[in-house]
Amino acid sequence: MNAMGNENRSTTPQSATFKDFISSGWADRTDVAPPPRAQAPYAARRRELISAMHAGERLIVPAGPAKTRANDTDYPFRAHSAFSYLTGWGSDTVPGSVLVLEPRQTGASAAGAGARGTGVGVGDSSGSAAGAGAGDSSGAGHDAVLYLMPTAGRDSDEFYANPAIGEFWTGPRPSLAHVAADLGIETRNLDELAGVLDATDASTRIVREADPGLTDQVDGRRLLAAELDADASETIDEDGDSVLLRDLSELRLVKDEFEISEMRAAVDATKQGFDDVIADLPQIVAHPRGERLVEGTFYRRARAEGNTVGYDTIAASGPHACTLHWTRNDGPVVPGDLILLDAGIELDSLYTADITRTLPVNGRFTEVQRRVYEAVLEAADAARAVVKPGIVFREVHAAAMAVIARKTAEWGFLPVGAEESLHADLQYHRRYMVHGTSHHLGIDVHDCAQARRELYLDGEVKEGMVFTIEPGLYFQPDDLTVPEEYRGIGVRIEDDVLVTSDGCENLSAGIPRTVDEVEAWLAG
């Protein structure tokens, strides 16, 4: 909840007597510094990598503010992925926090260092500045400082009177020392960020989309700096900001050991969510909006095992499965139909799985449903078979499309043969699968989205990459190019794979995917 729009119903006492009373009589708090979380050394290494790519530039990476849902209520807060990637702070991030990588200057302290003595360094609760910088403290590189709003004292009005951030309303925030020890990074009060902003110049880069308000402040100061420098451009260098976001995106293309471990855990949790849905099928089928029950059942598991769902769950039963991003989830789940469940659990680290299974509601595929399903499974297996280091990423899609073209041609749905349809200027088979086969996966469900095309779609597949393989076939209910018995059938099978030294590992292989496995899963 935010503080805007609640003036008409505020009844917070304002008398001096009440303020004195509510500010007293509290037990002393002990703030035991935790050991660094498992992700801390990996986040430090990532900071070193982005530091080397942006020598001499001030880098500002905000977590972002809370976002209003309606009037004085907010959406659940989620930090910007670039911020979490570089700090290791996940679902417990304090909204409004900002990571700054300040370039070191030989023979002099970096801009804004006048406030440095007040920071809290790694493992230091006394206020000394033994911060964890990006790289060696004596030479080039950056000093990393995390600015956040620490918890307010019980003698402040915020403590009880501020519904947006007050401890009585939203719980206590961690101390600077606690976060410094937890994340292995120097911390300072968010109030001190003003000193960094005042030092803004043409070398400052910011992740623009993370916090529009903060970006506006940086832009204003950059324009002012340009006006005072006759040799400087009078335009804001948004391209430089875009390069920072691009580089952060491309760093995530290959996952480190921590990320791979989280991806395994996210897939395991997602498997439990699918099991829950199958266990609840009798109640789901009995409800007129059974798709909503599917969504709710999976969400409960996501909240139990992780942070939330990694994206809006697609619970598409019957002809709804032909709508690729069906998230209304307001229809019935009818025996005899297929239900396409595309869902993933996001862990507290913010890493998410992305799995799709298509299930016969009554436990058995019909002959036509089985035919379509096995064609999609063949396409998925063909795509996975080509995955290994050294191929071009787009080859995964091409392998799946060769099967989709062949099957739809064999069934007589195409005006030409499969080979001819595969020509770039024809693509008749794509009528029945207009989406791509794969996307990178990690801290975002569509991870690395700002990477350059030559490193993504046209890039070389490397060991440590994690991406989806998700072919499908979708025959719209009113598609006159297919026989009536196919209309309204939508099938997608999606797995998450990890590229290994000589091929790939299907991280979601433990979630039934063949016809026999799926039917046995439902029967059990």
Average pLDDT value for the chain? 91
Q: What is the pLDDT of residues 46-66, one digit of tens each?
A: 999 999 999 999 999 999 999
pLDDT of residue 138: 41
Instruction: List the domains of the chain with CATH numbers.
Output: 36-251 (3.40.350.10), 257-523 (3.90.230.10)
Contact status, residue 270 vs residue 344, Cβ threshold 8 Å: yes
Which range among 24-28, 419-423, 482-486 shows the weakest confidence by mean pLDDT? 24-28
Considering the entire predicted model, what is its pTM?
0.92
Q: What is the pLDDT of residues 298-332, one digit of tens each?
A: 999 999 999 999 999 999 999 999 999 999 999 99
Find tokens 């023979």 and name the residue.
107
- Cα separation, 432 vs 411, whole angstroms: 13
Confidence class of residue 7 from pLDDT cuts 50, 70 and 90?
Answer: low
Q: Which residues is 469 bridged to in the sheet?
A: 495
C-alpha distance from residue 488 to each of 281, 351, 362 (Å)? 21, 34, 17
Mean pLDDT of 207-215: 97
- Cα separation, 128 vs 115, whole angstroms: 12
Q: What are phi and psi of 245, to 5 degrees?
A: -65, -40
pLDDT of residue 256: 98
- Cα separation, 187 vs 173, whole angstroms: 14
Q: What is the pLDDT of residues 100-112, one digit of tens each?
A: 999 997 554 444 4
Mean pLDDT of 124-145: 55
Structure tokens at 492: 């997608």
Among candidates 60, 143, 149, which has minimal Cα distance to 99? 60
Task: Give me the amino acid identity at 33.
Answer: A
Degrees, nearest 5: CA angle 375-370-267: 70
Percent of the chain's residues with pLDDT above 90: 79
Q: Cα 364 vs. chain centroid, distance in angstroms?
A: 35
Contact status, residue 346 vs residue 306, Cβ threshold 8 Å: yes
363 pLDDT exceeds 50?
yes
What contacts 411, CB < 8 A, 6 or more positions away? 482, 486
Confidence class of residue 227 from pLDDT cuts 50, 70 and 90?
Answer: confident
State how beta strands 186-189 and 142-148 pair: parallel
pLDDT of residue 108: 44
Q: Which residues is 100 bridged to in the sheet?
A: 60, 145
